[in-house]
Amino acid sequence: MELIVDNRQDSIELKEDILCDLEKVIAECLSFEGKSLNYEISVSFVDDNEIRDLNKAYRGKDKSTDVLSFPLIDGEADEEPSEFFPVLLGDIVISLETAKRQAEEYEHSLKREVFYLAVHSMFHLLGYDHMVEEEKKIMREKEKQVMKSLEVFKK
């Protein structure tokens, strides 16, 4: 698996332990879905202003949000990576400012919030959505199961 991380914000310190464990989080999502690990995923950390601009440009919503997902393959496609060429799965964009506020609101660590947002976004990249209540239940259950299975949260 190739994980490309881009920290484009400077208002919140992105600690090394988050970066080290982020690959485990992404891999757990792929494994949970029975997918190969031969994918390329990018994760960008931005501030509220940048995510607001992206949300407006790509979703027509002029407000900041916590995470955006940009899948590069159709969730219905059976495109599997080959042994030699990974499939570009997509891009995840996380606002660290919003993640920090949400972590404080839910009384857990920034690390846990970032990992939840990454898991949520990975399921979007894998073709899941939450626009309809039944789909939302399925996606939330998958998120919950992956979060429980991650050793990083048992510390």
Given a cut of 70, whether residue 82 has pLDDT beyond it is no
- How sure is the predictor about 152, in pLDDT bands with cuts at 50, 70 and 90? low
For residue 75, the model assigns a pLDDT of: 52
Residue 101 structure tokens: 């506020």
In this prediction, residue 97 carries a pLDDT of 98
Angle at 150 between CA 14 and CA 140, to 5 degrees: 95
The string of pLDDT tens digits covering residues 131-142 is 899 999 999 999
Q: Are 115 and 150 in contact (CB under 8 A)?
A: yes
Task: Give the CATH number for residue 6.
Answer: 3.40.390.30
* Contacts with 54 (C-beta within 8 Å, 6 or more apart), sequence order: 46, 68, 93
Q: How far is CA 43 from CA 115, 145, 155, in A?
A: 11, 22, 24
Examine the pLDDT at 144 and tell me if it is beyond 80.
yes
Give the residue, 140 or 79, on which the prediction is more confident: 140
Residue with tokens 């939302």: 136
Residue 69: which domain range? 2-154
Overall domain count for the chain? 1
pTM higher than the cut 0.85: yes
